A and B are shown apart, each in its own frame.
Chain A
Amino acid sequence: MPAREGRGAAVALRDVTISFRLGGTADFTAVEAASLTVEDGEFVAIVGPTGCGKSTLLNVAAGLLTPSAGSAEIFGAPLAGLNPDAGYLFQADALFPWKTAVENVAIGLEVVGVASAEARARAKEWLGRVGLAPFAGRYPHMLSGGQRKRVGLAQVLIRDPKILLMDEPFGPLDAQTRQIMGNLLLELWSADRKAVMFVTHDLEEAIALSDRVVIMSAGPAARIIGDWRVPLPRPRDIGEVKLDEAFHVLHRDIWAKLKDEVLKGYARTGGG
């Protein structure tokens, strides 16, 4: 593990530009000169129109993608290769289809040499924590989309990463379950504050969960165009916090800016 003595921010992206090589001559610049700092213990939500480069930005923080320009630092040390401090909950299905729920969760520990009996026992505990104890023996294809996300959450959290990267973890859930999952996430997070980068489409969810909300412009060449501090007290209940006056004021502010970008994004991608 990289030294934490440097004690810089958990994640510091500086003027990060990411271009993809396409088949032809032209490169496609997804994100341009984006700078974003996430302090240790801070919960930052990233909101932006579809296709603007949110996942791309998380991939950079995870070390899966090397920026074409700019730098990424993790706890003050430049990031080279994969980020060993990060746990990544992917947007797409990422569970091992040939492992049961409990095996999927236990693998995170087995990989670092925890004996398999102990890893299993702790995986069972974690499945209980995300409300899936009765589903321990099921394979991913026998779980619903939301259940799979929860297994994924347990798989990531059991390793106790210092940085949590979450890409629309509640995407496939209905409104009620979203709220329950959001509260669960806040509960788990406040027990042991990690730095969190949380990507979502849902502005309300972003405000309710986070310390800061960051807005990205519509791509291509998306930038970070807004950064709001959320003045709501903790601990929070997602349902109740939405009734708070400060919540509404902030929501109106951010939405005024975000709306234009969403419309631009739709216009460019034809609604996709």
Chain B
Amino acid sequence: MSRLTLLALQVLVAVVAIALWHVLTTVEIGGRMLLPPFFFSNPFDVAARIYKMFATGLVWRHLWVTLVESALAFVIGSVGGIVVGFWFARKPLVAAVFDPYVKMANALPRVVLAPIFTLWLGLGIWSKVALGVTLVFFIVFFNVYQGIKEVSPTVLANARMLGMNERQLMRHVYWPSALSWMFSSLHTSVGFAVVGAVVGEYLGSAAGLGYMIQQAEGVFDVAGVFAGMFVLAAFVIVIDAVVTLVENRLLVWRPAAAETRG
């Protein structure tokens, strides 16, 4: 299928979905609306609301706040995940001792931590960053750990026969392998950084996309909620496209078939 046909089909899906939404919320069928506008708003109201958000420039500040929180959560979580992942993978005793605690911490639904982070770090960005970090950290950590453990024993033996010392092994073998695993989960970890930021904002803050949505919901402004959701979705798509670009750049050495990992 050509790119153009594919694009046309993708647009068609959106058009059909929006048309359905419009018809069901504005045209009475059998004496009543199938989707009550009070709960579902309608495409035109939402579009107008989005337009207004950008026209007044109000949305930029919120977007910026969410972006900063996500970026910080991603960077801090990744660095933490890499450091701890390496440490655990190279020191099996440490990994064995901490194993149950890592599992416990990872099993904990992160949302319950939000109030604690708000208590500790206040209503500013850092409580949201902390929430995002707890999500990103584990993904990166598990992937880096796995990446080091899964280095082919033959490649490792070869590296040692070529005379690599521990530092060189780190640089030429473990690090690239860990990075490749980490990058293969880049979409997930970046996505979780955004989730952490938005959920944190939603649960208590003074700015950000999550805050915007929460405010609109508070006054039963359904068009506002939908508008916020669409802006958030567009934001995620843009970020995901950037991640794809970065990924293609960094993983040229990998066969295409392996790209489904993670």
Residues on A facing B (Cβ under 8 Å): 62, 64, 82, 84, 86-88, 90, 92-100, 107-108, 111-112, 139-141, 155, 159
Q: Per a CB cutoff under 8 Å, which of A84, A88, A100, A112 touches B158?
A: A88
Q: Are A159 and B163 touching (Cβ within 8 A)?
A: yes
Contacts of B57 in A (CB 8 A): none
Given contacts A96-B176, A159-B163, contact A111 B157 (CB under 8 A): no
Contacts of B158 in A (CB 8 A): 88, 90, 94-96
Task: Compute how far the CA of A92 lies from the CA of B180 in the bound complex, rounded to whole angstroms.
Answer: 21
Contact sample, A vs B, 6 pairs, CB 8 Å cutoff: A92-B154, A98-B176, A98-B180, A100-B253, A112-B163, A139-B253
Q: Per a CB cutoff under 8 Å, which of A100, A108, A140 touches B162?
A: A108
Q: Per a CB cutoff under 8 Å, which of A62, A99, A100, A139 touches B161?
A: A62
The A contact surface, by secondary structure, is loop
**Size of the chain B interface, CB-CB below 8 angstroms:** 21
Q: Are A155 and B253 touching (Cβ within 8 A)?
A: no
Q: Per a CB cutoff under 8 Å, which of B157, B172, B252 touches A94?
A: B157
Q: Per a CB cutoff under 8 Å, which of B163, B176, B177, B180 touches A111?
A: B163
Contacts of A93 in B (CB 8 A): 152, 154-155
Given contacts A94-B154, A96-B173, A96-B176, contact A86 B252 (CB under 8 A): no
- Within residues 40 to 71 of chain B, which ones have a CB less than 8 A from any CB in chain A? none
B244 CB-CB contact with A under 8 Å: no
User: Which of the listed residues B159, B162, B252 has the most CB atoms from chain A within 10 Å of its own CB?
Assistant: B162
Question: For chains A and B in complex, what number of residue pairs have CB atoms within 8 angstroms?
Answer: 63
Residues on B facing A (Cβ under 8 Å): 152, 154-155, 157-164, 168, 172-173, 176-177, 180, 252-255
Chain A, residue nearest B168 (CB):
A111
Contacts of B176 in A (CB 8 A): 96, 98
User: Which of the listed residues B158, B163, B164, B168 has the most CB atoms from chain A within 10 Å of its own CB?
Assistant: B158
Q: Are B163 and A94 touching (Cβ within 8 A)?
A: no
Contacts of A95 in B (CB 8 A): 155, 158
Q: Are A82 and B162 touching (Cβ within 8 A)?
A: no
Task: Compute how far the CA of A111 lies from the CA of B166 in the bound complex, rounded to whole angstroms.
Answer: 11
Contacts of A64 in B (CB 8 A): 157, 160-161
Q: Are A141 and B163 touching (Cβ within 8 A)?
A: no
User: How far in angstroms is the closest Cβ of chain A from B88?
Assistant: 22
Q: Per a CB cutoff under 8 Å, which of B155, B157, B163, B252 touches A96?
A: B155
Contacts of B161 in A (CB 8 A): 62, 64, 82, 86-88
